[in-house]
Structure 1
Amino acid sequence: MKTIYLVRHGQTIINKYDKIQGWCDTPLTDKGIADAKHAGEVLKNIPFDIALSSDLGRAVDTCDYIIEKNCNHLTLQHIASPFFREQFFGFFEGMNSDEAWQMIGGPHGCPRRQELLLKEKMSVIKDYIHEADPYHDAEDNKAYWKRLDKGFKLIKELDGAENILLVSHSMTIRSIVSRYAPEIPLVPGPANGSITILKMNDNDIKVTEYNKTEF
């Protein structure tokens, strides 16, 4: 059984200004650094066997701040992978969040993100994002999970790694929770620096904690 401590990266500049941030990247704010350090403090006594993150800078930096505080920091290896990136939003990257979600959810009677998250599964929302993108470059559900499943395959193949740190992104955490624990409401979403815990065996993944900042 593997335990995955899934952390959302700290606040970024684009988060602060409430814009869509998928594969585009901006630095952590001072608050974002504090978010990361707080997560590190909460998790400092978990003897991580390996640290994984999205390869986007905000996730890499958050992971490094967490590692600095960990009891295994002297030997802990950090692997950054595109498998754990955020949803790719295509045309909507960097757009004002309210404007983007109006375009995505408006045709389906949900002009606000929260309304859409309360009404639809993440799998449906991903297809809406792809559909609404004028270039159709945004990931749909099939493309997204083809990528993420490669990440989970990587984790399964990590022999001897039982406690795993994984730093990723808001929509990705929501997507994982939606797939493996659909009974958990996705509103509110995971806070910057929050911790979600997954238990993985050969056949299944269970979500045992969601969106925690303290234990």
Structure 2
Amino acid sequence: MFNRYNRLQGWSNSPLTETGMADAERAGRKLASVSFTAAFCSDTTRAQITAQTILRCNTASDPLPEPRSDMHFREQCYGYYEGQDMAAAWWAAGAPHGAGTYNEIVERFGLGASRDFLHEADPFHDAESDGEYWKRVEGGFAIIAADEGVHDGDDVLVISHGNTLLSLMHRYAPQGYDLSERPRNGSVTRIDFDTSKPIDEALSVVAYNE
């Protein structure tokens, strides 16, 4: 719902709209023939419903995995700026550094700076810094790697959030992807995760924003 109002939506739990439900159904149809060994999702309601909807459409998994919810798969935490107008929040973060919009912050200083600037601007400093953010996200991949039921070559469903997906692309994608286009709600991105390697080398992007 916050997307409709152009408000920051990280750890806050606004509900899926009818469009959001349709996005989940579309993703479910696209992935219906994929046999998933395991499924993980953010513990926000919108992610949990999306995971349940995708798995309900699935005809290939036997048995059908139960999605495991965990806070490590959440979107970035925007702290004091949760639910606030995006333009106003990014102005507060970037203007002291001479960048008045989110895109300008990223273009001039990088995606990591957008998190650090918002953390700095947050009067409570609850918005995640870049370091805090990646420590949590890497914890999510550690949870997947520790699952004894998942083996080399298995397909695993992970439901997270748009800015987290974009952040993974900025960090791990090879050249050639247009990252000025944000991932669409309900889109599918495929990532290979080699659990034998350290996390900085373990992820490689196969396809983005399908």
Query: Normalising by structure 2, what TM-score?
Result: 0.90
Q: Which amino acid aligns with 1:173?
A: L
Q: Which amino acid aligns with 1:169?
A: H
| Cα deviation, residue 113, structure 1 | 1.8
The 2-side partners of 1:170 and 1:181 are apart by 15
* Alpha-carbon contact 1:53-1:59 (below 8 Å) kept: yes
Match in the other structure for 1:163: 155
Describe the shift of the 1:107–1:73 C-alpha distance in structure 2 as closer, same or farther (beyond 3 A). farther
The 2-side partners of 1:66 and 1:140 are apart by 32
The 2-side partners of 1:33 and 1:102 are apart by 31
The 2-side partners of 1:132 and 1:210 are apart by 32
Residue number among 154, 163, 186 corresponding to 1:193 in the alignment: 186
Query: Gapped runs of 5+ residues in structure 2?
Result: none
Match in the other structure for 1:177: 169
Describe the shift of the 1:114–1:84 C-alpha distance in structure 2 as closer, same or farther (beyond 3 A). same
Q: Which amino acid aligns with 2:182?
A: G
Cα shift readout 1:108-147 (whole Å, capped 9, x = no counterpart): 2321222223333322221111111122111101111111
In proportion to residue count, which structure has more strand?
1
Match in the other structure for 1:100: 89
* Alpha-carbon contact 1:117-1:186 (below 8 Å) kept: no
Query: Normalising by structure 1, what TM-score?
Result: 0.88
Match in the other structure for 1:70: 58
| Cα deviation, residue 160, structure 1 | 4.3
Residue number among 126, 143, 165 corresponding to 2:115 in the alignment: 126
Map 1:11-160 to 2 at 5 A.
13-71=1-59, 72=61, 75-160=64-149
The 1-side partners of 2:148 and 2:160 are apart by 22
| Stretch deviating more after TM superposition (130-139 or 184-193) | 184-193
Q: Give the superposed CA RMSD.
A: 1.5
Query: Gapped runs of 5+ residues in structure 1?
Result: 1-12
* Alpha-carbon contact 1:117-1:187 (below 8 Å) kept: no
* Alpha-carbon contact 2:174-2:205 (below 8 Å) kept: no
| Cα deviation, residue 74, structure 1 | 5.3
Higher relative CO (CA 8 A, sep ≥ 6), structure 1 or 2? 1
* Alpha-carbon contact 2:51-2:159 (below 8 Å) kept: yes
Residue aligned with 1:14, SS = coil
The 2-side partners of 1:90 and 1:47 are apart by 37
Describe the shift of the 1:94–1:182 C-alpha distance in structure 2 as closer, same or farther (beyond 3 A). farther
Q: Percent identity?
A: 37
Cα shift readout 1:135-162 (whole Å, capped 9, x = no counterpart): 2111101111111111111111223421
The 1-side partners of 2:12 and 2:62 are apart by 29
Q: Which amino acid aligns with 1:178?
A: H
